Amino acid sequence: MEGIFYTLQDFMLHSKNITYIVMGIVLIVLPLFWRFLSGRDQKKRTY
Rounded CA gap, 1 and 14, in Å?
10
Q: Which residues contact 11 (CB under 8 A, 6 or more apart)?
A: 5
Rounded CA gap, 23 and 17, in Å?
10
Q: Does residue 11 have a pLDDT over 90?
A: yes
> Given this model, what pLDDT does residue 24 score?
97
What dihedral do alpha carbons 29, 35, 37, 39 form, nearest 10°?
-150
> Given this model, what pLDDT does residue 10 score?
93
Q: Does residue 36 have a pLDDT over 70?
A: yes
Mean pLDDT taken over the chain:
86
Domain ranges in the chain? 1-41
More confident residue, 27 or 41: 27
